């Protein structure tokens, strides 16, 4: 495995150039036209047959190995976030040139790592013993996501296992988190409108106050997690916006609107939560003399890592980097990820690679998010080595 790591290190400059090019030209979900073109062009330059589509930007390329007994898929996501980034000193030379879009989640790094693996394998610098499908997915960041569209078009046909990776700066650079079972949460969205009857703030007995009702709903939803779900079934209900009134200090409004997210690591619990939330919202609003509407939109399911695939991914990382590079207590995250749809179809493993270092440890989706680029060859080496055992 030392040879695999050495080969990955030998193309460090190329990986850095690829990552920075993607970073300069971020494209949000469902708009990855340039990104997909660059990826497809790179893969074709390696002599690989590339499968593209007229109606989506997701694509894949296949490496066929004579005598191979199975095909595995390696996946990277391509889309950027709909946000502006902070031009920190470390990345001022390659800051986003597209206003309102930024690679503040690390998908630029994911693409560079997987393209690097494709180069090493296609050129024979690392010898694969398996057929490989290099899967570049569009629209991970926006529900319904791109995974479903690629699955519908056959991206998993003939594939026995799939592996993916995500960078995570708060974890030290070079540290892998690899665990079996639930690894990322389901991610559902809720919107609540509480309708009351507004009036003068000095005469609250003559109104039906939606602010009071809405505030009680927020508090009640937190009790659902602690008193209904129980301590052994993790869940999060977070109300992230609460809008009501017009900014005056003496008018109670007619209605308030709230929006938030519901997360769980248990699909059974996820199925129970909508009814619990609906009952809580209706009962509280009724007790306050108001009416309420709940809009519950399901997003990505729980991402569950297959035990055997995870063991294989872990052994691969161990053989490359040693025991010190494997986090001793792998833990799931309550973020959502549509890699979960692949995992519902075939054995899958999704891992996290730490990219943090002093002064560069802001979390994913932060305006000053960045990736320590010395970890790029590590991701390339791990992707490559998965094909060799």
- Catalytic option among 31, 77, 85, 140: 140
CA distance 151 to 345: 9
HEC string of 91-127? CHHHCCCCCCCECCCCHHHHHHHHHHHHHHHHCCCCC
Beta strands in 196-247 (DSSP E): 199-200, 235-244
Specify the pairing of strand 71-77 against strand 131-137: parallel
Of 315, 343, 382, nearest to 174 by C-alpha is 382
Residue with tokens 């026995």: 160
Instruction: Label residue 101 exposed, middle or buried (CB < 10 Å: 0-12, 13-18, 19+).
Output: buried
- Which stretches of the chain are DSSP H helices? 2-10, 12-24, 33-45, 107-122, 147-152, 210-223, 267-287, 307-321, 339-345, 376-385
Cα-Cα-Cα-Cα dihedral sign, residues 354, 348, 105, 378 = positive
Cα separation of 84 and 368, whole Å?
A: 10
Annotated active-site residue in 79, 108, 188, 337: 79
Told to judge if 140 belongs to the known catalytic residues of this protein, a careful annotator would answer: yes
- Please tell me the distance from the alpha carbon of residue 78 to that of residue 161, in angstroms, as a whole number: 21
- Tell me if 331 sits within 8 A of 177, measured CB to CB: yes
CA-closest candidate to residue 77, choices 322, 255, 310, 335: 335
**Rounded Cα gap, residues 290 and 195, in angstroms:** 6
In the block, residue with structure tokens 């490559």: 384
Helix (H) or strand (E) holding 323: none
DSSP state of 350: E
**Residue 70 known to be catalytic:** no
Catalytic residues: 79, 140
């Amino acid at each position: 495995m030392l040879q695999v790591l050495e080969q990955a290190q030998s193309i460090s400059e190329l990986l850095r150039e690829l990552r920075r090019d993607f970073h300069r030209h971020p494209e949000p979900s469902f708009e990855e036209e340039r990104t997909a073109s660059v990826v497809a062009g790179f893969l074709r330059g390696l002599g690989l047959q590339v499968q593209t589509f007229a109606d989506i930007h997701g694509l894949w390329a296949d490496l066929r190995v004579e005598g191979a007994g199975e095909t595995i898929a390696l996946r990277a996501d391509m889309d950027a976030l709909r946000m502006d980034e902070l031009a920190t000193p470390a990345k001022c030379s390659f800051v986003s040139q597209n206003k309102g879009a930024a690679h503040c989640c690390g998908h630029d790094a994911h693409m560079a790592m997987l393209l690097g693996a494709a180069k090493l394998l296609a050129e024979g610098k690392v010898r694969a013993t398996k057929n490989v499908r290099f899967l570049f997915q569009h629209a991970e960041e926006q529900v319904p996501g791109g995974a479903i569209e690629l699955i519908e078009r056959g991206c998993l046909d003939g594939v026995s296992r799939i592996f993916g990776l995500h960078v995570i700066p708060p974890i030290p650079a070079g540290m892998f988190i690899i665990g079996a079972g639930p690894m990322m949460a389901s991610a559902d969205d809720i919107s609540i409108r509480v309708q009351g009857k507004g009036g003068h703030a000095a005469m609250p007995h003559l109104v039906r106050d939606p602010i009071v009702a809405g505030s009680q709903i927020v508090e009640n939803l937190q009790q659902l997690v602690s008193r209904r779900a129980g301590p052994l079934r993790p869940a999060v209900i977070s109300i992230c916006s609460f809008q009501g009134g017009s900014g005056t200090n003496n008018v109670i409004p007619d209605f308030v609107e709230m929006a938030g997210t519901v997360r769980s690591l248990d699909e059974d619990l996820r199925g129970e939560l909508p009814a619990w939330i609906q009952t809580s919202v209706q009962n509280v609003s009724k007790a306050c003399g108001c009416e309420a509407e709940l809009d519950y939109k399901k997003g990505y399911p729980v991402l569950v890592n297959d035990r055997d695939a995870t063991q294989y991914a872990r052994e691969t990382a161990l053989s490359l980097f040693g025991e010190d590079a494997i986090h001793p207590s792998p833990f799931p995250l309550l973020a959502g990820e549509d890699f979960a749809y692949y995992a519902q179809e075939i054995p899958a493993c999704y891992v996290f690679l730490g990219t943090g270092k002093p002064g560069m440890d802001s979390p994913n989706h932060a305006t000053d998010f960045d990736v320590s680029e010395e970890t790029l060859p590590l991701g390339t080496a791990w992707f490559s080595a998965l094909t060799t055992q």
